[in-house]
Amino acid sequence: MTVKLRNVSLLARLLGATGFILLLMYPLATSLFITSELRLYRDLVADQASATLKALTNSVGEQAVIGDYTTIEQVLKARVDHKPFVAFTFTDPYGGKVRTRSDPPPLHSPAWFSRMLALSDESIEHDVVLGGVNYGKLQARISHTPFINQA
């Protein structure tokens, strides 16, 4: 049974065409919005991580010079509970490590949504160098779970 367009009113044809266009545009607009938000979030986290590691490198470096690993642990513990960080590791040139971590936040969003966003935990590293002398490496682990839960 075919419907001839001549038998359908102009209003029905306009409403049908509008509905069809909206049906096609909604997924496209949603996709573009999510993509732009992800790009903005990644840039924001990269800037925040870079600034935090730079500040921590100076604080940790001062303590590494004098070998005060207890203070290094306290400095890292004070920062590890701030989003998006879940762990910090300082490794001295001889292989000694100071590790701090917080409990990873639970994931509240559906698994398919997490896979769609494609945000996995990542680690970034920064050398601790003061006065041209390498005192070790500072590594930060970043969890994107709070952002995924919020989205």
pLDDT digits (tens, 9 = 90+) for 81-94: 888 889 999 999 98
Beta pairing, strands 133-142 & 122-130: antiparallel
Structure tokens, 105: 């936040």
Mean pLDDT of 12-20: 92
Q: Which of 142, 89, 103, 138 is nearest to 119 (CA)?
A: 142
Biggest CA–CA distance in the chain, Å, is: 89
What number is the average pLDDT over the span 108-120?
Answer: 82
Q: Quick one: CA dihedral 99, 102, 103, 104, positive or negative? A: negative
pLDDT of residue 107: 83
- Mean pLDDT within 115-139: 88
Question: What mean pLDDT is predicted for residues 100-122?
Answer: 83
pLDDT at 18: 94
- 3 has pLDDT over 90: no
Can you tell me the distance from the alpha carbon of 101 to that of 77, in angstroms, rounded to the nearest whole number?
7
Residues near 34 by beta carbon (within 8 Å), at least 6 away in sequence: 117
Q: Quote the pLDDT of residue 91.
A: 93
Average pLDDT over residues 50-67: 89
> Which amino acid, one-letter code, is at 111?
A
Confidence check: pLDDT of 146 > 90: no
